[in-house]
Structure 1
Amino acid sequence: MANYKRPGIFVDETLNPIVVNDTPTGEFVAAFVGEHDYGPALPTLVRSWAEFTSLYGGLGDGSHLLPFSIHQYFSNGGGSCYVVRAVSADAKQAEVVLKDRQTGDGVTPRDVLRLQAKAPGTYGNGIAVTVTDAGTGPGRFNLSLRIGGDTATAMTERFNDVTCDPTDTRNVVAMVNSPTTGSKVIAATYLGAAPWKAIYTPSVTVDQALAGGINGVAAPDLTAATTRLEETNACLTINLPGISDAATLNPIIDWAERYGYACLVIDAPALPDGTPTEVAVAKYKELSPLSNTGTTPAPLRASSYAAVYGPWVLTADAAVAAVGATRLLPPGGAVLGQFAKFDVTYGPHRTPAGQEAVLRSVYSTAYRFTDSQLDDLNQAGINIIRRVPSAGFAIMGGRTMKAGYPDRYISVRRFLIYVRKLLVESTSFAVFQPNTPDLWASLAAIVTQRLTELTQAGQLKGNSPQTAFRVVCDESNNSEQTVSNGEVHIDVGIALVRPAEFIGIHIGQFEGGGTATESL
Structure 2
Amino acid sequence: MPTNAVSAAKPTYPGVYVEELPSSARTISTVTTSVTAFVGHTRRGPLNQPVRVTSFTEFERRFGGLTSQSAVGYAVHQFFGNGGTVAVIVRVTKAGSGKAACVTLESTEGHSESAVLEVHAKEPGHWGDGLRVAVDYDTACPDDEFNLSVYDARGGAREAFTGLSMDASHGRYAPTVVNAGSRLIRVDVVGEGRPDPSGTVSKPFGHELPDLAVDLKVKIGEVEREFTLYDPDSDGEAPCNVAELALLLERKLRALPDAPGKHAFAGVEVTAFGRRVQVVAGSTDPEDVVRFVGECANDLGLEGSVNPPVFPLEGGEDGDPPGPRDLIGSEADKTGIQSLRGEDDVNLLVLPELAAYENVDDAVTVVSAAQRLCQERRIFLLVDAPNSWGSVDAARAGLAAFEPVRGNHAGLYFPQLQLTDPLTGRLRSFPPSGAVAGVFARTDAERGVWKAPAGTEARLAGVHSLAVNLTDRENGLLNPLGVNCLRTFPMVGPTVWGARTLEGSDALDSEWKYVPVRRLALYVEESLQRGLQWVVFEPNDENLWQQIRLSASSYLHNLFRQGAFKGGTPREAYFVKCDHDTTTDEDIANGVVNVLVGIAPVKPAEFVIVKIQQTSGQFEL
- Counterparts of 2:93 and 2:493, CA distance in 1: 37
Match of 1:518 in 2: none
Aligned equivalent of 1:54, options 54, 61, 72:
61
Deviation at 1:250, TM superposition (A): 3.1
Aligned equivalent of 2:127, options 101, 109, 123:
123
Secondary structure, aligned partner of 2:159: strand
The residue type equivalent to 2:423 in the other structure is A
Aligned equivalent of 1:25, options 31, 34, 44:
31
Q: Do the aligned residues in 2 keep the contact of 1:87 with 1:120 (CA within 8 Å)?
A: no
Q: Do the aligned residues in 2 keep the contact of 1:94 with 1:210 (CA within 8 Å)?
A: no
- In the alignment, structure 2 segments of 5+ residues that lack a partner are 1-28, 199-308, 330-335
Aligned equivalent of 1:476, options 563, 566, 581:
581
Match of 2:443 in 1: 342
User: After the TM superposition, which of the residue ranges 205-214 and 333-342 deviates more from structure 2?
Assistant: 205-214
The residue type equivalent to 2:559 in the other structure is L
- Counterparts of 2:38 and 2:157, CA distance in 1: 24
- Cα distance 1:407–1:176, how it changes in 2: closer, same or farther (>3 A)? farther
Report whether the alignment pairs 1:214 with 2:317: yes
The residue type equivalent to 1:90 in the other structure is G
Per the normalisation by structure 1, the TM-score is 0.78
- Counterparts of 1:78 and 1:125, CA distance in 2: 32
The residue type equivalent to 1:84 in the other structure is V
Secondary structure, aligned partner of 2:500: coil
Aligned equivalent of 1:111, options 109, 116, 125:
116
Match of 2:593 in 1: 488
Match of 1:333 in 2: 434
Match of 1:250 in 2: 367
Q: Do the aligned residues in 1 keep the contact of 2:371 with 2:381 (CA within 8 Å)?
A: no
1:28-55 Cα shifts (integer Å, max 9, x gaps): 3112122233333222112111111122
Report whether the alignment pairs 1:63 with 2:69: yes
Secondary structure, aligned partner of 2:583: coil
- Cα distance 1:213–1:260, how it changes in 2: closer, same or farther (>3 A)? same
1:44-78 Cα shifts (integer Å, max 9, x gaps): 11211111112222212x23322112111121121
Percentage identity across aligned positions? Answer: 30
- Counterparts of 1:307 and 1:337, CA distance in 2: 15
- Cα distance 1:417–1:286, how it changes in 2: closer, same or farther (>3 A)? farther
Aligned equivalent of 2:379, options 223, 238, 262:
262
Secondary structure, aligned partner of 2:347: strand
- Cα distance 1:252–1:176, how it changes in 2: closer, same or farther (>3 A)? farther
Q: Do the aligned residues in 2 keep the contact of 1:133 with 1:140 (CA within 8 Å)?
A: yes
- 5 Å-filtered alignment, 1:170-249, equals 173=175, 182-187=181-186, 204-205=197-198, 207-215=310-318, 219-220=322-323, 221-224=326-329, 225-244=336-355, 245=360, 246-249=363-366
Deviation at 1:144, TM superposition (A): 4.4
Q: Do the aligned residues in 1 keep the contact of 2:84 with 2:438 (CA within 8 Å)?
A: yes
Secondary structure, aligned partner of 1:235: coil
Aligned equivalent of 1:303, options 379, 399, 407:
407
- In the alignment, structure 1 segments of 5+ residues that lack a partner are 1-22, 194-198, 513-520
- Counterparts of 1:29 and 1:134, CA distance in 2: 46
CA RMSD of aligned residues (A): 3.2
Report whether the alignment pairs 1:319 with 2:423: yes
- Cα distance 1:44–1:128, how it changes in 2: closer, same or farther (>3 A)? farther
The residue type equivalent to 2:472 in the other structure is D
Match of 2:43 in 1: 37
- Cα distance 1:461–1:38, how it changes in 2: closer, same or farther (>3 A)? same
- Cα distance 1:453–1:315, how it changes in 2: closer, same or farther (>3 A)? same
1:145-165 Cα shifts (integer Å, max 9, x gaps): 444xx25xx151525446457
Q: Do the aligned residues in 2 keep the contact of 1:311 with 1:385 (CA within 8 Å)?
A: yes
Secondary structure, aligned partner of 1:28: coil
1:93-146 Cα shifts (integer Å, max 9, x gaps): 315466587824x4666635x554454343344443344557456666655444
Deviation at 1:389, TM superposition (A): 1.9
Secondary structure, aligned partner of 2:405: coil
Q: Do the aligned residues in 2 keep the contact of 1:30 with 1:336 (CA within 8 Å)?
A: yes
- Counterparts of 2:140 and 2:530, CA distance in 1: 46
Match of 2:530 in 1: 425
Deviation at 1:445, TM superposition (A): 2.4
Secondary structure, aligned partner of 1:384: strand
- Counterparts of 2:405 and 2:343, CA distance in 1: 25
Q: Do the aligned residues in 2 keep the contact of 1:237 with 1:264 (CA within 8 Å)?
A: yes
Aligned equivalent of 1:82, options 88, 93, 96:
88
- Counterparts of 2:342 and 2:495, CA distance in 1: 33
Q: Which has the larger radius of gyration?
A: 2
Q: Do the aligned residues in 2 keep the contact of 1:162 with 1:170 (CA within 8 Å)?
A: yes
Match of 1:357 in 2: 458
- Counterparts of 1:336 and 1:434, CA distance in 2: 43
Count how many residue pairs are aligned between Structure 1 and Structure 2: 459
- Cα distance 1:347–1:298, how it changes in 2: closer, same or farther (>3 A)? closer
